[in-house]
Each structure stands twice: as structure tokens, then as C-alpha cells.
């Protein structure tokens, strides 16, 4: 969790200045809110799929069954 927090913190520190320079403070707030809303919607969808189809290694199996086998290999490697 420390590594994840450090990665996210560096991402905020590095990209915030660029976003504020391009869009201004209101645009930066809107961009972060929009990305947060999309992330919440994706996690809600994954949560519903896990409740409806409770299987082991769900994220990789969902990608394998609903998207593509090759992408499932990439997702599995990424999660590993």
C-alpha cells in the first residue's frame, strides 16, 4: 500500500501542474472528478459481475470470457 500511495502521489504531483496550466483550476477539478467517477463506475460494474458470477481469479476470467483471450494474458501479467 505504501508503494501504491507513492505512485499515486507522484502521479498527482507530476500531472497536476500540467493540467492546471492547460485547463485552469476549474478544469483540473472537473478532470479529477470525471476520472474518479469513471473509476467508481468500473469498480461497481466489477462488483456486480463478481456477485453474479463468483469464480476464482475473476478479473482475468471476466476479460477472457467477455473481451479476448490475449488481453486476459496481459491483464493477468499486469496483476501479477
Q: List, in order, residues 6 or more apart from 23 with CB less than 8 Å away.
A: 30, 31
Select from 7, 63, 53 the least CA-distant residue to 77.
63
* Mean pLDDT (whole number) for 60-65: 90
What pLDDT, on the 0 to 100 scale, is given for residue 20? 81
Give the percent of the chain with pLDDT over 90. Answer: 24
What pLDDT, on the 0 to 100 scale, is given for residue 22? 85
* Mean pLDDT (whole number) for 41-59: 87
What is the CA angle 41-42-46, rounded to 5? Answer: 120
User: 26 pLDDT exceeds 80?
Assistant: yes
What pLDDT, on the 0 to 100 scale, is given for residue 40? 93
What pLDDT, on the 0 to 100 scale, is given for residue 74? 92
User: 2 pLDDT exceeds 80?
Assistant: no
* Mean pLDDT (whole number) for 57-71: 89
Q: List, in order, residues 6 or more apart from 76 with CB less than 8 Å away.
A: 60
**Contact criterion met (CB below 8 Å) for 54 and 63:** no
Amino acid at each position: 500500500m505504501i508503494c501504491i500511495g507513492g505512485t499515486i502521489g507522484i502521479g498527482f504531483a507530476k500531472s497536476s501542474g500540467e493540467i492546471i496550466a492547460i485547463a485552469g483550476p476549474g478544469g483540473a477539478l472537473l478532470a479529477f472528478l470525471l476520472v474518479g467517477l469513471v473509476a467508481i463506475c468500473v469498480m461497481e460494474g466489477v462488483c456486480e459481475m463478481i456477485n453474479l458470477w463468483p469464480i476464482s481469479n475473476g478479473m482475468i476470467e471476466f476479460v477472457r470470457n467477455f473481451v479476448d483471450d490475449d488481453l486476459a494474458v496481459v491483464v493477468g501479467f499486469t496483476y501479477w
